[in-house]
Structures are given as structure tokens and as C-alpha cells.
Amino acid sequence: MELGLKGKTVIVTGGGSNIGRAVFLAFMSEGCNVVNAELDEVQGQKVVDQAKSLSGKALLVKTDVTDHKSVEAMVKKTLDTFGQIDILVNNVGWTFDRLFIEKPREELEKEIKINYWGFINCTRAVLDHFIARKSGAIVSLGSDAGRVGEWREAVYSGCKGAVIATTKAIAREVGRYGIRLNVVCPGVTVPASTNDMSKYSLWQDSFKIFTPEVQQKATHSYPLRRLGKPEDISGAILFLSSDAASFITGQTLSVSGGYSMM
């Protein structure tokens, strides 16, 4: 199937860890120009180096997605380097699992900034360019938490639900320019190790919660009887970004082994 991705320019936010890293490497394998908009410069550079033998061209641009000026500068740097942007993958996300009534306000604010404002800032920053070219695709990472609600992830779920609803609304507004927006929702997606992760990754703290025993118990909720791996998620993101998905917009696709079926 012809995806038509070769030579396209893609921005991946948070391409240093876990799902973002797998997505970054997958687009590099397709021969894309890929910008790693990553806050942790050291880890970002590590991943860019890991992509050396792949057919794409990589560019690391240190970015704080919660700061719209940092995002605008990253978009400008991308345009200066590659001349155009075809695809944006809103991947940055963060959570720390706690009961809602035990959540400190600072964590709620952090979750809303990273998960929702990050999506708004990056989406807004590429849209003028997409509208001018009458072309562009945005794929955002949601979560099954945003579809069905997840225990100990109340505001994280709300942010992901917000990403889903806002995506549909913007899709309705810019579909007339040929711009498509979709959301991919993982379930629990465990990185291979803590070594290959940015210092900001949610997994730096979450392995304390998601011990091997807890992970094993969790698999019972998955019809496919296992948790997700970062490589499971990248296929759907590549597909939805590509020309093969030219008639798909405003959609929410769970890649979570059947955890939710809506």
C-alpha cells in the first residue's frame, strides 16, 4: 500500500521516549524529514543518533510544548530548514496516577498544561501554514482514559477527552482546506526500559506503580491479553498521517488490544 510518506516533513513532539520515540523512528524509516520537538536535549539527540542508518533526515529542536513561543520558534525552525510541514504528531503527554481526591493541585495544573495546552499550542502553530497550502495532517495521541475514563487518571482522562473533542471540532472547521485531524488512543504502553527515556517521561515515576505484578494483573482487562508496546502504536499513526487515510478525519482509533470498544 502506498503511504506517500517519503520526503514528507513531520514534527513529532516528545520524540525522545516510549511512544514518541517509536513514532519518530518509524517516520525516519519511511524516508521522511522528521523534527524531534523534544524538551530533553540529551535524550533527543540520542534518539536522533539512533536513527542514523534510517533513510529519513532528522532534526532536533528543543521545544517546551507548554510555552507557545517555544512552539512557534520550533515551527519556524522547521520551515526554515525543510521549507514545509506536512504532518504534526501531538505526542507529548504526562500523568501520575492518583485518586482524584488525593491529587495535589500542582499536579492537576501540570497535567492540563502538558496534555491539553501542549496539543492546543502545537496544533495552532501549524494551522496557518496548513491552511495556506490547503494540505496537512495532524495525528494526536489520546488515550482510552479519554474515551472511557480511567481509575486514578481523572484529569488526565479529561485532558485526553479534550484532545478528542477539540480534534473533531477543528476537523469540521478545516476539512474544507483538505486538512485532516485524527486521534490514536493507546492503553497502558510500557517502554522497554528506563534507560532510553527522557528525564521528563511519565515512566520515570510510573514504573513504581506499574510493577511487573501490576502489569501482569492489568493484562486481564485486555482481550488480546497483553499490554501495549510503543511499536504497536506507530503503525496506526503512520497510517492516519498518510495519503492512504485521505478520506479519514475527525476519527478516534483505539490501539489498545481491545481495552475499550466504542
Partner 1 sequence: MELGLKGKTVIITGGGSNIGRAIFLAFVKEGSTVINAEIDETQAKKVLDEAKGLPGKALFIKTDVTDWDSVQNMVKTAIEKTGQIDVLVNNVGWVYDRLFVEKPREEWEKEIKLNYWSYINCTRGVLDHFIARKGGNIVSVGSDAGRVGEFREAVYGGCKGAIIATSKAIAREVGRYNIRLNVVCPGATIPKKEEVGKDSMWQEAFKFFTPEMAEKAAHAYTLRRLGTAAELANAVVFMASDAASFITGQTLSVSGGYSMM
Which residues are tagged catalytic? 156
Minimum CB distance to partner 1 smaller for 20 or for 186: 186
From residue 86, alpha-carbon distances to 9, 73, 131 in Å are 5, 17, 11
We find the least distance from the C-beta atom of residue 9 to partner 1, in angstroms, to be 18
Specify the residue, 46 or 180, whose C-beta has the smaller distance to partner 1. 180
Q: Give the 3-state secondary structure of 113-150.
A: HHHHHHHHHHHHHHHHHHHHHCCEEEEEECCHHHHHCC
In what side-by-side order are the strands of the sheet with 9-13?
57-60, 33-37, 9-13, 87-90, 136-141, 179-186, 252-255
Q: Quick one: DSSP state of residue 112?
A: I
C-alpha 153 chain-centroid distance: 18
Cell numbers representing residue 39 in the block: 524538551
Tell the burial category of 193 from Cβ atoms under 10 Å away from its Cβ (0-12, 13-18, 19+). Answer: exposed
Residues that bind partner 1 (CB under 8 A): 1, 3, 26, 29-30, 168, 171-172, 175-176, 178, 180, 222-225, 228-229, 232-233, 235-236, 238-239, 244-258, 260-262
To which residue does cell 534507560 refer? 195
Report, in Å, the least distance between residue 12 CB and partner 1.
15
Q: Which is nearer to partner 1, 112 or 244 (CB)?
A: 244
Is the Cβ of residue 149 or residue 178 nearer to partner 1 in the bound state? 178
Give the residue with the Cβ less far from partner 1, 9 or 66. Answer: 9
Give 42 or 261: the residue with its C-beta nearer to partner 1.
261
Adjacent-strand bridge partners of 89: 12, 139
- CB 45, min distance to partner 1, A: 26
Cα-based distances in Å from 57 to 35, 147, 193, 211 = 9, 35, 26, 37
Cα–Cα distance for residue pair 147/131, rounded to 1 Å: 29
The minimum distance between CB 103 and partner 1, in angstroms, equals 29
Q: How far is the CB of 28 from partner 1 (least distance, A)?
A: 12
Q: Minimal distance in Å, beta carbon 93 to partner 1?
A: 18
Q: How far is CA 203 from the centre of its chain?
A: 15
Q: Report CA 238 to chain centroid distance, whole Å.
A: 12
